[in-house]
Amino acid sequence: MKTYMPKASEVDRRWYLVDAEGKVLGRLATEIANILRGKNKPEYTPHMDMGDFVVVVNADKLVVTGKKEQQKLYRRHTGYPSGLREVPYERMMATHPERVLEKAVRGMLPKNSLGRAMFRKLKVYAGPNHKHEAQKPEKIEL
C-alpha cells in the first residue's frame, strides 16, 4: 500500500462566487478559508496549496452579531513609538468594507508563504459587480 501524494500539476483549481449579503462575518470567513486551503477536497494535503479561487460580492452587506458593530476594533502598529492605530468596525465598513472580510479570512490561513499564496486566490468586492466573469465562477451558497 502506498499513500497517494498529489503533485502540484494535478491540482484542479475551480472558481466559486459567494454572495455575502446578510451573512455573518465569522461564519462566512471560515467557509471561505476552508475552500482556499482545499479542505473541501478529498485529496487535501496540508503542506500544499490545494485550494480554489473564491470571488466574494456584496461585502458591504455583511453582518456581525452582538455588540461587535460598536465595540470591534481593528488594530495595527506603525512600528514607531506610540504608533498603535485603531479603527472601529463601523468606520472600516464605511471606508473599506472588503478589508473586513479579507482580515477575517487572512487570520484563519497559515502564517507562512503557503498562507500568503492561498490568500491571493481570494477576490473581494464591496458591490454586486466583479471582474472575473471570464473565469465563469460557479455560484455556491455558504
- Tens of pLDDT, residue by residue, the chain (142 residues): 898 899 989 999 999 999 999 999 999 999 999 999 999 999 999 999 999 999 999 999 999 999 999 999 999 999 999 999 999 999 999 999 999 999 999 999 999 999 999 999 999 999 999 999 999 999 999 8
Domains plus CATH for the chain? 15-65+97-132 (3.90.1180.10)
Q: How far apart are CA 108 and CA 119, in angstroms?
A: 10
State the pLDDT at residue 1.
Answer: 85
Q: How far is CA 22 from the centre of its chain?
A: 16
What is the maximum span of the chain, computed from C-alpha positions, in angstroms?
Answer: 59
* Residue at 75: amino acid letter: R
Q: How far apart are CA 1 and CA 135, in angstroms?
A: 38
* Residue carrying C-alpha cell 497559515: 110
Q: How far apart are CA 115 and CA 124, in angstroms?
A: 17
* Residue at 81: amino acid letter: P
